[in-house]
Amino acid sequence: MLTSPSSMQFESEFESAGNPLSPNKRHRHRGVVNETERAKNRAKSKVRAKVEHAIGVIKRVFGFAKVRYRGIAKNADRLFVACALANLFIARRRLLRLAAA
């Protein structure tokens, strides 16, 4: 994808500004990752794992990997229902324990 120089400059400024959404830092200084960088990486990885797990459930269990065009409203409704069902699917064990107690 071709981008204009101004957009490339914006991206580099955005990433260098300490954006909390930027990817995990992999660079090391003398072979050791700084503890603050490790804490930031750990926090980002926790969020990423939760989001990717939910998306995986939506794609694998509810078949939302490919979407046939049915209209924006119908596809949006199908996505909302899939997200709600994915939430129930992920929390099913916890819900069953609460129902049994």
Q: How many domains, the chain?
A: 1
What digits encode the pLDDT tens for the residues 63-96? 888 878 889 999 899 889 999 999 999 999 999 9
Judge whether 11 lies within some domain.
Answer: no
Confidence at residue 25, expressed as pLDDT on a 0 to 100 scale? 66
Confidence category of residue 2, pLDDT binned at 50, 70, 90: very low
pLDDT in the model for residue 70: 87
Residue 88 domain-assigned (yes or no): yes
Q: What is the CA radius of gyration of the chain?
A: 20
The answer to whether residues 58 and 64 touch, using CB atoms and an 8 Å cutoff, is yes
In a domain, 45, yes or no: yes
Domain coverage including residue 48: 33-100
Is 22 within a domain?
Answer: no
Evaluate whether residue 6 is within a structural domain: no
Decide: 90 and 62 in contact? Cβ < 8 Å.
Answer: no
**CB pairs under 8 A, 24+ apart, for 75-82?**
82/58
- 26-64 pLDDT, tens digit per residue, is 666 666 778 888 898 899 999 999 889 989 999 888 888
